[in-house]
Amino acid sequence: MFALAGDGTRRELQVERLWPHKGRLVLKFGGIDSITQAEVLVGSELQVPRSERASLEAGWTYVSDLIGCTVLDGGREIGTIKDVQFGAGEAPLLIVSPAELKTTSQSGNTGSEYEIPFAEAYLQSVDLQAKHVLMQLPEGMLEINAPLTEEEKRENRQFRSR
């Protein structure tokens, strides 16, 4: 197992023990023998090599397997998942690079990324072999990330100058 810190440094870790505590798992790593030493790992992403990952039950997916998948909304290609972010709400956010310009002009997005909740309510299926994530997004969800129109920018400037 590895710990990837926010600054990009990576450290190999060995799990000595683990136990449940208040609905979570506590991990004891070899060579980490105090809270002070453990605090260095706060915020790190724990990474397990694919060859050592546990098999998942049906309906569960490793986040790393979603990277590179194409998001489809009712069959329409939205874009490619480039990252998954946690902490913005109950559901992780899929960070999706828009598909070609033909799609961006239909949705109002002109090149920014989409942030799409990976929520059960929107998810229809995940096909990792085909690298497709099929979703049924609510109307207007993609427009949330759309840049301001020129008219909206003018209105904002007028409002700020008052």
DSSP-assigned states of every residue in 118-149? --TTTEEEEETTTTEEEE-PPTTTGGGGPPPP
45-87 confidence digits (pLDDT tens): 888 888 888 888 887 888 889 999 999 998 889 999 999 988 7
Look up the CATH architecture of domain 63-145.
Answer: Roll (2.30)
Check residue 63 and give its pLDDT. 82
Which region among 50-54, 101-105, 108-112, 153-157 has the lowest average model confidence (pLDDT)? Answer: 101-105
Q: Domain coordinates of the chain in residue numbers?
A: 2-49, 63-145
- The pLDDT of residue 58 is 81
Give the chain's mean pLDDT.
Answer: 83
Q: What is the pLDDT, as a whole number, of residue 74?
A: 84
Confidence band, pLDDT 50/70/90 cuts, at residue 162:
low
The dihedral formed by the CA atoms of 114, 73, 138 and 136, expressed in degrees to the nearest 10: -130
How would residue 103 be classed by pLDDT, with cut points 50, 70 and 90? very low
Beta carbons within 10 angstroms of residue 44's beta carbon = 17
What is the distance between the alpha carbons of residues 141 and 114, in angstroms, rounded to a whole number?
9
Distance, in Å, from the CA atom of 128 to the CA atom of 70, rounded to the nearest integer, reads 10
Band (133; pLDDT cuts 50, 70, 90)? very high
End-to-end CA distance of the chain: 56
DSSP 8-state class, residue 114: E
Extract long-range pairs of 6-15: CB within 8 Å, 24+ residues apart. Answer: 6/43, 6/44, 10/47, 11/41, 11/44, 13/46
The answer to whether residues 95 and 83 touch, using CB atoms and an 8 Å cutoff, is yes
